[in-house]
Amino acid sequence: MSGNRAPVAALFLLSPLVAEVLSGSTPLTGLAGLVFFIPMYGGAAVLIREISVRRDRGLPVVLLLGLAFALLEEGLVVQAIFHPQAVEAASWGAAGGRVLGAHVTFTLAVLVYHAIWSITLPILLCDLLFPGSRSRPLLGRTGLAVMAAVLLAGLTLVAVLVRVRIAPGHPTPVARSLGVALAVGVLCLIAVRFPSRGRRRPLPPGGGSGISGTAGPAAPWVISLASAAAGSAFLLALMVPIAFDPRPLPEPVSVAAAVVIAIVALAASRRAGHWSDRHRFALAGGLLPVPPAIGLVQAALHGYGTPGDRAGLVALLAATIILLIGIHAKGFSPR
């Protein structure tokens, strides 16, 4: 299993880096704080990847389990969907209505963000970095048990941190917690019962040609631009209206717009399992710069962070774009 250590380690670190650092939730000036979140994000991403590969379920199950993890994290562990103002998201907490105690706009934003950027995108990037291992398990039974223990320890650590240091005095009613747990269980059940993709003839790692070629449903640059536009539009549809008082759009309108964007994006990517690596790279390349860009918009609208934090987001956005351009210019050749 020694040959599997690199992809496991890469995914274990990619998930918290994309989830927390690229978005600015953990600024570069406070990077040491990321250590508390690595076991939770990393453990979840690795286990979800293993379940999807072992059951041959593909992207739909990764998204479903990513959504389950997001609900577990934000509903039970951090409790942010019920108390966004307690976790330094006061603008979200003050905006809009609630359903079953959860803030609608904030809940929709963070659940989709974690399902796509915290879980699915790091798994996609890891598969591109290590194409030889994408269709096989990386962990044995002992490894799975250890990773499950790491995830449980990470969830516990963050839960204690939130209740003791970050947001003490904001308990969630037991009924709401039980409802979240039930929803997480239902999502996991749907995921494990999701129909198998069947045994298809796999594409070669490079999809038959270089990254500059075209194949599949659209040219890579179209996929990249479309994914960046869809990801940005989804988050902006939820985030921008709450920055103004009165709101320029009623909450049902902004939420409905975000849901439509998400549905259209999912429908457009339904055949992503048939894409070549250059198309998957284009998808990842479009999504990766979205968190720092949206973080800068959020900072401008709400005055979040220090000047150093905002400068860090600019540096992250520039570094991400330069890295993607450099990989494209060199020619994407999976190892």
Q: Given the structure tokens 């044995």, which residue do they identify?
A: 140
Residue 301 has pLDDT above 80, yes or no: no
Q: Alpha carbon of 196 to those of 66, 120, 134: distances in Å?
A: 18, 18, 16
Q: How far apart are CA 193 and CA 46, in angstroms?
A: 20
Q: Alpha carbon of 180 to those of 79, 101, 187: distances in Å?
A: 10, 11, 11
- Greater confidence (262 vs 83) lies with 262
Q: How far apart are CA 85 and CA 90, in angstroms?
A: 4
Q: How far apart are CA 34 and CA 26, in angstroms?
A: 7
**What is the pLDDT, as a whole number, of residue 200?**
44
Summary mean pLDDT of the chain = 79
Binning pLDDT at 50, 70 and 90, where does residue 293 land?
confident
- Greater confidence (246 vs 298) lies with 298
Read out DSSP for 250-314? Answer: -HHHHHHHHHHHHHHHHHHTTTGGG--HHHHHHHHHHHTTHHHHHHHHHHHHH--S-HHHHHHHH
Binning pLDDT at 50, 70 and 90, where does residue 245 land?
low
Long-range contacts of 271-275 (CB under 8 A, 24+ apart): 271/216, 271/217, 272/59, 273/58, 273/59, 273/197, 273/200, 274/203, 274/216, 275/203, 275/207, 275/215, 275/216, 275/217
Q: What is the DSSP letter of 317?
A: H
Residues 92 and 82: beta-carbon distance below 8 Å: no
| Tokens describing residue 176 | 């709401």
Residues 290 and 266: beta-carbon distance below 8 Å: no
Residue 137 has pLDDT above 50, yes or no: yes
156 Cβ contact partners less than 8 Å away, ≥ 6 residues apart:
none
Q: What is the DSSP letter of 245?
A: S
- Greater confidence (245 vs 70) lies with 70
Question: pTM for the complete prediction?
Answer: 0.84
Q: What is the DSSP letter of 207?
A: T
| Tokens describing residue 94 | 């003050």
Residue 86 has pLDDT above 90, yes or no: no
The three state secondary structure string of 70-86 is: HHHHHHHHCCCCCCHHH
pLDDT tens readout for residues 149-204: 999 999 999 989 888 877 677 777 888 889 989 999 999 998 888 776 654 444 44
Report percent pLDDT > 90 for the chain: 19
Q: How far apart are CA 318 and CA 335, in angstroms?
A: 26
| Tokens describing residue 209 | 């040609």
Per-range mean pLDDT, top range of 86-95, 120-129, 194-203, 267-276: 120-129
CA nearest neighbour of 33 among 17, 14, 15, 11? 17
- Greater confidence (104 vs 145) lies with 145
For 321, phi then psi, to 5°, come to -65, -45
Binning pLDDT at 50, 70 and 90, where does residue 95 land?
low
- The residues facing 167 across adjacent strands are none
Per-range mean pLDDT, top range of 63-77, 157-171, 267-281: 63-77
For 133, phi then psi, to 5°, come to -115, 5
> Alpha carbon 263 to chain centroid distance?
16
- Greater confidence (11 vs 254) lies with 11
Residue 332 has pLDDT above 50, yes or no: yes
Question: Per-residue b/e over 225-253, b at no fewer than 16 CB within 10 Å?
Answer: ebbbebbbbbbbbbbbbbeeeeeebebee
Residue 11 has pLDDT above 80, yes or no: yes
Q: Which of 21-25, 199-203, 291-295 has the lowest mean pLDDT?
A: 199-203
The residue type of 190 is I
Binning pLDDT at 50, 70 and 90, where does residue 210 land?
very low
